[in-house]
Structure 1
């Protein structure tokens, strides 16, 4: 059973049928989709060096723009300890460049959250809480975060955290999945955001 249906429990059945199908696909193998980001924004210019360094870990990037092609893939994996994992790969195709926003997720069944390790190799950990919206959409909110330094994980105070909010829905009129992601810091404001749409690849 996919980790997302496990953490949602009975609430999983309240998801839009196309979202349920999308996440249950992981029982059979990878999910692949492609589409367009209508808008990608980033934080203030002084953060550019940090964003550029993030490209080395497939986490952040300094580019922004509108109508940027992208692909998304969820690959089910098994960790060294036997736990179910899902590798997320999001690739954004800027002019002459490919940028990534990747993560490795697994289930913490005792706390009822998804464990999210961001970057490759990981530099940031976040708890993720999942909620089903009234329209059948999926709302994901990051909670406690830790910096990952080698084999150590250091809790981050709130003023250093990038709090992520993700909303995914299905647009029946356009027959597309819609995605909105915003990462914010309580002092800086928006660090990174994107919104777009995609369809499942054949």
Structure 2
């Protein structure tokens, strides 16, 4: 049995996202229709649809940047936020489930597993944002960091994501992290019609350290039904936070 704790908040919590609506469709608006049909399928479902998107593939390259970033990555790995390993041709899976969290927010899991000798996970849960063109990304098992993600669509119908403001979630009045402490992420995911699979490229950089981490590769997706048992406990965070 998985127990999920919720940070107490004495104020009424608004429910983000319309019932049954995809958070990505809501964020992109009319731009959502410019996505490749396979990306519209992948990012167009919600908790009302009773399906998941499970991807299996390989990361052709997993990068680790400056040595100075290694201590941070080792600590972050304890909470499934990045990791210090690197390599080539690494088996990879991603699990996307949509559900309503303890605050009533429409939520999508992004649980990425990299099969090194010691498997590593990079976990996130994304929720709708009141800011047009963005979603809020909570990182790790305990949602310690809340990151605004700006969404866009590339010329080939891919999804382009860039990180903006970052906060330590759960702190009342938590300030935006200074630029020198933040890791700026850039993601591009698109569908390769010739190979019949999704391709993805991610880089995380810091203004002082330069490259912190990155990966690029491919995966194929399937869309199983979510049964009466609901969303598996192992893909949900241990603690849920409400960004203040």
TM-score when normalising by structure 1:
0.93
Return the structure number with greater helix share. 1
Partner of 1:87: 109
Q: Does 1:109 align with 2:162?
A: no
- Residue 28 of structure 1 and its aligned partner are, at CA, apart by 3.2
Match of 1:169 among 167, 185, 190: 190
Task: Name the CA distance, whole Å, in 1 between partners of 2:177 and 2:144.
Answer: 12
TM-score when normalising by structure 2:
0.78
Partner of 1:4: 24
Return the structure number with greater strand share. 1
- Residue 130 of structure 1 and its aligned partner are, at CA, apart by 0.4
Which structure has more relative contact order (CA 8 Å, sep 6+)? It is 2
Match of 2:168 among 147, 156, 163: 147
Partner of 2:34: 14
Q: Does 1:53 align with 2:80?
A: no
Equivalent position SS for 1:120: coil
- Residue 182 of structure 1 and its aligned partner are, at CA, apart by 0.4
**1:7–1:149 distance in 2 versus 1, CA, 3 Å:** closer
Equivalent position SS for 1:178: strand
How many residues align? The count is 201
Where do 5+ consecutive residues of structure 2 fail to align? Answer: 1-20, 224-244
Partner of 1:181: 202
Where do 5+ consecutive residues of structure 1 fail to align? Answer: none
Equivalent position SS for 2:55: strand
- Residue 109 of structure 1 and its aligned partner are, at CA, apart by 2.8
Asked if 2 retains the 8 angstrom alpha-carbon contact of 1:148 and 1:154, the reply is: no
Partner of 1:99: 120
Runs of 4+ displaced beyond 4 Å: 149-152
Rg (Cα) greater in structure: 2
Equivalent position SS for 2:180: helix
Asked if 1 retains the 8 angstrom alpha-carbon contact of 2:163 and 2:186, the reply is: yes
Task: Name the CA distance, whole Å, in 2 between partners of 1:36 and 1:152.
Answer: 40
